[in-house]
């Protein structure tokens, strides 16, 4: 049984149909990359898996760990093990990262029938996970993403991923706005978290990130459908040839 199974997914925002029949199977231990030109539904797909109610699913299903998750609220999906790394992490003045994460970790533990972490246990966990993204700042006094640089925001996403230890992480353009050092740190953080019992979807425009996070599969999302799937070499081909040849291939197939 696959971890995530998306079948014939159609979705729209307002009257505009964005996804037009997406099919995708993801197994434990795999890293999938979804590439494609802007405005073709990559972030929509990520948002829908996470449970963003801004989008309406009009057809199809998403099965995660054997359960149809389309009716689950976003926080339940998270507690079931889905994590979305945001393309644009939201700033939340007045909520410290420490308390945000402690609340999240403990609410997820409660969902799974586990006791909450004590303050000391939580602090230990946090110190340990900060190392994943080489974070040195004292988080206790900082509000979530407030005044963070682009790199810090993305590092913070991976830090949260490390804290929550999801089964499926969806990273939505985690590489955008990163300089090369931050990119290396973020990618190496993701690699450290990679295990046989979890899976990752990496959404990106650029091959660059995939030099660091090597995918098992590369999918091209174009006009609301996955039109091509291949091994990691497909990313290199896209990088050198652009997306035009895929469009041409599709046209000639019609």
Partner 1 sequence: MEKIVQQFRDIHPLMRKNEVWRNVDFTSLLTDDLVLSQGERQTADYHCQIPDLEAIRFVVENGYYHQQSAQLPNGVIVSALRKAGDADAYFSRCAPKPNPYLQCNADNYSDGLYLSIPANTHIEKPIQLQSVINAGHGLFLQVRNLVVVGPHSHVTIIHCDDSYDQAPSFSNNVTEIYLHEGASVEFYKMQNINNASGLLNHTYVAMEHDARFRSVAITLNGGHIRNHTEIRMLGEHCDVQAHGLYLNDQEQRVDNYVFVEHAFPNCVSRELFKGILDDTAQGSFNGHVLVSEGAIKTEAYQSNKNILLTDKAFINTKPFLEIYNDDVKCSHGSTIGQLDEQALFYIRSRGISERTAKTLLLYAFCDEVLQQIMLQPLREKLVDLVKKRLHGELTPCAECSLHCSSPCNGPEADFHIDPSKL
Nearest distance in Å: CB 100, partner 1: 7
Query: Are the beta carbons of 105 and 163 closer than 8 angstroms?
Result: yes
108 versus 198: smaller Cβ distance to partner 1: 108
64 versus 86: smaller Cβ distance to partner 1: 86
38 versus 53: smaller Cβ distance to partner 1: 53
79 versus 185: smaller Cβ distance to partner 1: 79
165 versus 223: smaller Cβ distance to partner 1: 165
β-partners of residue 67 are 64
Nearest distance in Å: CB 123, partner 1: 6
Nearest distance in Å: CB 22, partner 1: 20
1 versus 120: smaller Cβ distance to partner 1: 120
E strands of the chain, at which residues? Answer: 4-13, 16-26, 31-35, 56-64, 67-68, 82-85, 92-96, 143-144, 168-172, 199-203, 217-222, 225-230
Left if phi > 0, otherwise alpha if psi is -120 to 50, otherwise beta: which for 134?
A: left
Nearest distance in Å: CB 90, partner 1: 4
Q: How far apart, in Å, do the first and last CA atoms of the chain sit? A: 33
Nearest distance in Å: CB 253, partner 1: 37
Which residues of the chain form contacts with partner 1 (CB under 8 A)? Answer: 50-54, 73-75, 78-79, 83-84, 86, 89-90, 92-96, 98-104, 106-108, 111, 119, 122-123, 140-141, 143, 160, 164
106 versus 176: smaller Cβ distance to partner 1: 106
Q: How far apart are CA 36 and CA 205, in angstroms?
A: 6
- 71 alpha carbon, distance to own chain's centre: 20
Nearest distance in Å: CB 141, partner 1: 7
Residue partners of 46: CB distance under 8 A and separation at least 6: 84, 170, 172, 201, 203
Which tokens belong to 57?
A: 């699913």
Nearest distance in Å: CB 8, partner 1: 25
Q: How far apart are CA 29 and CA 78, in angstroms?
A: 19
Residue partners of 169: CB distance under 8 A and separation at least 6: 83, 84, 85, 161, 190, 193, 198, 199, 200, 201
């Amino acid at each position: 049984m696959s971890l995530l199974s998306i079948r014939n997914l159609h979705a729209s925002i307002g009257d505009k149909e964005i996804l037009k029949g997406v099919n995708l199977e993801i197994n434990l231990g795999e890293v999938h990359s979804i590439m494609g030109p802007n405005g073709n539904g990559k972030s929509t797909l990520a948002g829908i898996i996470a449970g963003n109610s801004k989008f309406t699913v009009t057809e199809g299903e998403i099965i995660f760990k054997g359960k149809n998750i389309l009716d689950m609220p976003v926080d339940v999906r998270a507690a079931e093990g889905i994590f979305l790394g945001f393309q644009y992490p939201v700033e939340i003045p007045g909520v410290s990262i420490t308390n945000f994460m402690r609340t999240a970790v403990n609410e997820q533990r409660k969902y799974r029938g586990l006791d909450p972490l004590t303050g000391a246990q939580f602090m230990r966990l946090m110190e340990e996970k900060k190392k994943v993204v080489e974070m040195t700042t004292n988080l206790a006094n900082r509000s979530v993403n407030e005044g963070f640089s682009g790199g810090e925001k993305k590092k913070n996403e991976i830090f949260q991923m490390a804290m929550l230890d999801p089964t499926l992480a969806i990273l939505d353009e985690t590489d955008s706005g990163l300089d090369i050092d931050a990119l290396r740190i973020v990618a190496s953080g993701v690699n450290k978290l990679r295990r046989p019992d979890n899976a990752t979807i990496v959404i990106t425009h650029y091959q660059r990130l995939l030099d660091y996070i090597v995918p098992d599969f590369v999918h091209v999302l174009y006009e609301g459908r996955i039109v091509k799937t291949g091994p990691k070499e497909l990313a290199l081909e896209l990088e050198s040839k652009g997306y035009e040849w895929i469009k041409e291939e599709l046209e000639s197939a019609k």
